[in-house]
């Protein structure tokens, strides 16, 4: 046994009453009342139980109760020296009671001090106190030495068993407290993650929709500045209105996604490319349902990639391919290139940085850059 084990207190959870059942607390109080009754009965039936002797016996029992209560409080607070002082006073009270002729109360006090010292004090202090209390018991007891030794050994075993039981209960209480704290932290983390997901969905929907509207409104402004025909300006305004309507639809889809209600990804991509005059979509691999997060990542990247094509290479051919692999899903968007449009410098949405961040949050990757013909965006998301 190491020095640390000798100096280590039983935990406050072990010494306290938290975690004990109602039946166990009732039994503990019944034992205390029984011990108090034995002490009082022994004091009243002692040969000195008359006059001042009786008064001294009752006062000694009440004093022993007060000292025991104080000992329990100081051990709960892990205060060593006050605890040792109190248990020493209890042993002194037992010796005084024996000297005054109160032999039975002295025996009970010696036994109680031995058991509680082993149960509630550090072993380095509890063992000497218990040894002193048991030695006092052996001196006061009138039984033979073998009987007294067996009785003392049984009380020592009882005290140490109570200590082990209390420590096991305290360990259980600590584990329960840690589990509750972990559950609270997990719930807080899940709430933060959900709020971040909602915020990201709302941001991405608004960024895409407003960016597309800005493209057409900026075009309308440029046409007006150049004195273009009314029909051309009206065409851009109508397109902006359509983008606003599409934005509302996307917002509804985002809310449905947050509730776990998503249209099939293939249908979404087909509807998305139908708005582009020279775009096509192909699906490869074995189709299977994706998580809401993975499906939304594919949808948002496809939307942003097509928006970039309209801005930077208007009229280019666009090929969109969705490939279901064994451990990932891949989205490939490629355009045939072309001259930058007149709105290439217009304000955009969340762009490649936002797409890459969304992919990395899911453990995937995003590659974007020029290829042999035009510009390519490739998204990989693990599934």
Q: What is the pLDDT of residues 210-268, one digit of tens each?
A: 777 787 788 888 888 888 888 888 888 887 887 777 777 667 766 666 666 567 888 88
Among 105, 119, 114, smallest CA distance to 59 is for 105
The pLDDT value recorded for residue 346 is: 45
The pLDDT value recorded for residue 50 is: 53
Neighbour-count burial of 114, counting CB atoms closer than 10 A to its CB (0-12 exposed, 13-18 middle, 19+ buried)? buried
The domain locations on the chain are 3-142, 184-382
May I ask the CATH architecture of the domain 184-382? 2-Layer Sandwich (3.30)
3-state class (DSSP) for residue 255: helix
Q: Is the pLDDT of residue 45 over 70?
A: no
3-state class (DSSP) for residue 325: coil
Residues 109 and 95: their CA atoms lie apart, in Å, by 9
What 3 state SS string does 89-134 have? HHHHHHHHHHHCCCHHHHHHHHHHHHHHHHHHCCHHHHHHHHHHHH
pTM exceeding the 0.85 threshold for the entire prediction: no
Q: Is the pLDDT of residue 72 over 80?
A: yes
Among 119, 103, 225, smallest CA distance to 164 is for 119
User: pLDDT digits over 7-42, tens only?
Assistant: 888 888 777 776 666 676 677 667 766 766 665 565
Look at strands 318-324 and 279-285 and give their pairing. Answer: parallel
Strand order in the sheet with 365-370: 279-285, 318-324, 328-335, 375-382, 365-370
User: pLDDT digits over 104-129, tens only?
Assistant: 777 778 888 888 888 888 988 888 98
């Amino acid at each position: 046994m190491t020095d640390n084990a000798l100096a280590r207190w039983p935990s406050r959870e072990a010494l306290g009453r938290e975690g004990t059942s109602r039946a166990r607390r009732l039994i503990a109080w019944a034992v205390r009342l029984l011990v108090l009754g034995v002490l009082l009965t022994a004091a009243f039936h002692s040969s000195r139980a008359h006059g001042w002797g009786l008064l001294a016996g009752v006062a000694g029992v009440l004093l022993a109760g007060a000292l025991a209560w104080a000992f329990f409080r100081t051990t709960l607070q892990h205060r060593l020296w006050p605890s040792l002082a109190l248990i020493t006073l209890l042993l002194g009270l037992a010796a005084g009671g024996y000297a005054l002729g109160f032999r039975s109360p002295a025996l009970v006090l010696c036994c109680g001090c031995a058991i509680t010292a082993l149960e509630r004090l550090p072993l380095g202090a509890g063992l000497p106190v218990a040894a002193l209390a048991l030695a006092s018991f052996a001196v006061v007891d009138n039984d033979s030495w073998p009987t007294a030794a067996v009785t003392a050994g049984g009380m020592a075993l009882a005290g140490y068993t109570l200590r082990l039981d209390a420590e096991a209960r305290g360990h259980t209480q600590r584990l329960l407290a840690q589990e509750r704290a972990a559950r609270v932290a997990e719930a807080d983390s899940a709430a933060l993650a959900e709020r971040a997901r909602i915020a990201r969905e709302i941001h991405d929907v608004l960024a895409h929709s407003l960016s597309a509207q800005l493209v057409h409104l900026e075009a309308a402004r440029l046409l007006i500045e150049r004195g273009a025909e009314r029909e051309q300006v009206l065409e851009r305004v109508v397109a902006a209105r359509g983008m606003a309507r599409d934005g509302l639809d996307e917002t509804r889809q985002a809310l449905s996604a947050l509730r776990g209600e998503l249209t099939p990804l293939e249908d979404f991509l087909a509807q998305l490319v139908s708005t582009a005059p020279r775009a096509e979509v192909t699906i490869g691999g074995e189709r299977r349902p994706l998580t809401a997060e993975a499906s939304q990542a594919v949808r948002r990247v496809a939307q942003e990639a097509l928006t970039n094509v309209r801005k930077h290479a208007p009229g280019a051919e666009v090929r969109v391919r969705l490939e279901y692999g064994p451990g990932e899903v891949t989205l490939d968007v490629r355009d045939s290139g072309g001259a930058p449009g007149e709105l290439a410098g217009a304000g955009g949405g969340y762009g490649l940085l936002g797409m890459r961040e969304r992919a990395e949050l899911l453990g995937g990757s995003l590659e974007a850059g020029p290829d042999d013909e035009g510009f390519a965006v490739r998204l990989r998301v693990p599934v």
